[in-house]
């Protein structure tokens, strides 16, 4: 930790502010501060701390909004005070935007009273952001984006979920403009592509989800088709696997190397 975490703690936690003045040595050791950093915090004026607190809240709110825009808009109408409570009560512990959003969602759901549809929406937005900023997803999307279209060999290739893809299931339609309380089970596939920052999102049927779950890199496409469907539909299943490969949702393994 360091001075940023120490400052966040004294802004959010009264006990830490007291510790700074009554047990400065312990406070310094806990946050790994230099003597100069400790003096800066001890000598900060109440007005300066309040100004810093306001600026800090704004930065943190903007951080959350960059990941959870729809979730925060919904909370602004239904429970705006909860966002303010989080910013006041929970000190900043990381400079990771995704980690901050995950902590906020964990705090929100742990406190109870969160509508299931709102929890679904927040998890959906987290998934979209995680795929968008994932280095592995971006590298994979860039690689296949600059390569010729892949052709799936049903007898030798062993498809698996690619680093650019995520499959998630929700109890509500998180793609609706407004969160809906009516239960509506939904399966979504998010795939990072080279031409855009955010992932493309596809709705999946139950059959498609089962098919993708069988793609673990250990079975050939032919073996997956046999497990997933009846013999008369095997060609359709193989064609579906080929489409997932072209979308970037599946990567393919030959017996020895990934192509």
Contact 120, 180 (CB under 8 A): no
Q: Name the residue with tokens 């000598």.
A: 43
Contact 152, 221 (CB under 8 A): yes
Structure tokens at 54: 């306001």
First to last CA, the chain: 42
Instruction: Please tell me whether residue 162 adopts helix, strand or coil conformation.
Output: coil
- Other residues' Cβ atoms within 10 Å of the Cβ of residue 131: 23
pLDDT of residue 167: 97
- Residue spans per domain, the chain: 3-115, 130-253
The HSE-up count of residue 204 (CA atoms within 13 Å, CB side) is: 23
Evaluate the CA torsion angle 13, 5, 119, 65 in order and state its sign.
Answer: positive
- Other residues' Cβ atoms within 10 Å of the Cβ of residue 15: 9
- Single pTM value for the model: 0.77
pLDDT of residue 52: 63
pLDDT of residue 37: 80
Instruction: Encode 80-118 in three state secondary structure.
Output: HHHHHHHHHHCCCCCCCHHHHHHHHHHHHHHCCCCCHHH
Helix runs in the chain, H state only: 3-12, 14-22, 24-31, 35-42, 46-67, 69-78, 80-89, 97-110, 116-133, 135-145, 206-213, 221-228, 234-247
pLDDT of residue 196: 92
pLDDT of residue 257: 41
- The CATH label, of 3.30.1330.10, 3.90.930.50, 3.40.225.10, 3.60.21.10, for the domain at 130-253 is 3.90.930.50
CA–CA separation, 138 and 191 (whole Å): 10
Per-residue pLDDT of the chain (259 residues; tens, 9 = 90+): 677 777 777 776 778 778 888 888 998 888 888 888 888 788 877 666 655 667 777 888 899 999 999 999 988 877 778 888 888 778 777 668 999 999 999 988 887 667 888 899 999 999 999 999 999 999 999 998 887 777 888 888 999 999 999 999 999 999 987 767 778 889 999 999 999 999 999 999 999 999 999 999 999 999 998 898 877 888 899 999 999 999 999 998 655 444 4
CA–CA separation, 189 and 180 (whole Å): 20
Inter-axis angle of helices 14-22 and 3-12, nearest 10: 120
pLDDT of residue 171: 93
């Amino acid at each position: 930790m360091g001075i940023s975490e120490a400052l966040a703690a004294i802004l959010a936690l009264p006990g830490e502010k007291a510790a700074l003045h009554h047990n400065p040595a312990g406070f310094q050791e806990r946050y790994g501060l230099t003597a100069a950093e400790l003096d800066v915090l001890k000598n900060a004026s109440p007005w300066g701390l309040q100004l810093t607190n306001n600026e800090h809240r704004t930065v943190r709110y903007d951080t959350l909004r960059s990941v959870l825009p729809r979730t925060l808009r919904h909370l602004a109408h239904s429970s705006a005070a909860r966002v303010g409570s989080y910013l006041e009560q929970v000190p900043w512990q990381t400079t990771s935007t995704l980690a901050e959003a995950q902590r906020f969602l964990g705090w929100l759901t742990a406190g109870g009273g969160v509508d299931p549809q709102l929890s679904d929406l927040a998890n959906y937005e987290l998934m979209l952001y995680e795929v968008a900023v994932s280095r592995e997803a971006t590298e994979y999307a860039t690689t296949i984006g600059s390569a010729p279209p892949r052709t799936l060999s049903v007898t030798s290739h062993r498809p698996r979920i690619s680093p650019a893809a995520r499959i998630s299931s929700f109890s509500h339609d998180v793609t609706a403009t407004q969160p809906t309380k009516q239960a509506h089970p939904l399966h979504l596939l998010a795939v990072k592509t080279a031409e855009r920052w955010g992932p493309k999102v596809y709705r999946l049927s139950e059959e498609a989800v089962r098919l993708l779950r069988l793609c673990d890199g250990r079975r050939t496409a032919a073996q997956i088709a046999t497990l997933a469907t009846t013999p008369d539909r095997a060609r359709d299943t193989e064609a579906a696997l080929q489409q997932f490969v072209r979308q970037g949702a599946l990567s393919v393994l030959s017996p020895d190397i990934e192509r």
